[in-house]
Amino acid sequence: RKGSVIITGASSGLGLATAKALAETGKWHIIMACRDFLKAERAAKSAGMSKQNYTIMHLDLASLDSVRQFVDRYKRSGRPLDVLVCNAAVYQPTAKEPSFTAEGFELSVGTNHLGHFLLSRLLLDDLKQSDYPSKRLIIVGSITGNTKTLAGNVPPKANLGDLRGLAGGLNGLNSSTMIDGGEFDGAKAYKDSKVCNMLTMQEFHRRFHEESGITFASLYPGCIATTGLFREHIPLFRLLFPPFQKYIIKGFVSEDEAGKRLAQVVSDPSLTKSGVYWSWNQNSASFENQLSPEASDEEKARKIWELSEKLVGLA
């Protein structure tokens, strides 16, 4: 049978390119989990994906009710779940004020981390039950977890501090909107959320890999300077960033190439190792990358897991 893979945020950028790459193999049915149904339908069409290879299902990660409804509908569909890809993200580098999810969490961490945390926890049993030869849970990371690189050191740097803001619910009322308890900074909130993504992947690995055989992985696909992720950035930045990445940093990858990389993490029989943060070198060969001390801190990973369980209503 075909493999069944859910990809969140498959309506643009990396998620769409990955859906396209997997659809082209003819071996996968892709469930595009998107907040904008029409946009996703148009995107799939313009990517040339054939109807029999995909299904679009509504999912708004900025609402925990929507996450629960999505999971219920998926379970009722009777489809197996072989791979889950947590890819969607929001990035608000120029926001002066925070925005919030339906439950009142700061939007970047609420969407990128808490929405995906609930989604993957609720779908873990379905992955366990899959009889597919290699079942996987992939959470897309970023370079911000890698302080050994130039790009991982651009300020503001990710820093989760003692997690006091997260413990308080990130709501700006009785707690800060930032995980570390500091002043709101949209670029930092995004980077913090990505560190949470990478820590969550490792915590999943420690808790569930041995018993379930599921491969848990994260990756940095390279800098895809052309995606919608930068849509809220100032126009001059959007003009200069792609050539800067291409010619100076040399970290630029096209959406197609990045999609092929994530598709490898979904389906390549040689990438089954669990607990790994994949990156690619200049020749597009994959390697196991090292994470920064904070993005590999076991104690912090456990605390974030426990605090997140409370915030999403699992504990």
Following DSSP, what letter does each residue of 266-303 receive, concatenated?
Answer: HH-TT---SSEEEEE-TTS-EEEPPPPTGGG-HHHHHH
171 touches ligand NDP by CB under 6 A: no
61 touches ligand NDP by CB under 6 A: yes
> In the complex with ligand NDP, which residue's Cβ is closer, 9 or 181?
9
Among the listed residues 119, 121, 111, 138, the one whose alpha carbon sits nearest the alpha carbon of residue 5: 138
Binding to ligand NDP by CB under 6 A, coded x per residue (else -) over 126-155, reads --------------x-x-------------
| 190 in catalytic set | yes
> Which residue reads 């911000």 in tokens?
144
Task: Report how far apart, in Å, the C-alpha atoms of 196 and of each of 48, 163, 189, 192, 247 are.
Answer: 34, 11, 11, 6, 31
Report CA torsion sign: 202, 190, 100, 32: negative
Restricted to residues 235-274, the positions that interact with ligand NDP (CB under 6 A) are: none
| Catalytically annotated residue among 74, 190, 220, 277 | 190
Shortest Cβ 5–ligand NDP spacing (Å): 15
Which residues is 3 bridged to in the sheet? 28
Among 223, 263, 307, 311, binds ligand NDP (CB under 6 A): 223
**CA 78 to chain CA mean position, Å:** 25
- Alpha carbon dihedral 51, 53, 58, 60, in 10-degree steps, equals -130
Shortest Cβ 246–ligand NDP spacing (Å): 12
Binding window for ligand NDP (CB under 6 A); candidates: 9-17, 156-164, 181-189, 205-213: 9-17
120 touches ligand NDP by CB under 6 A: no
> In the complex with ligand NDP, which residue's Cβ is closer, 142 or 215?
142
How far is the C-alpha of 43 from the C-alpha of 37, rounded, in Å?
A: 10
Q: Per the omega criterion (within 30 degrees of 0), is the bond before 293 cis?
A: no
Among 7, 20, 31, 35, binds ligand NDP (CB under 6 A): 35
What are the catalytic residues?
Answer: 190
Residues at the interface with ligand NDP (CB under 6 A): 8-9, 11-15, 34-36, 39, 59-62, 87-90, 111, 140, 142, 194, 220-221, 223-225, 227-229
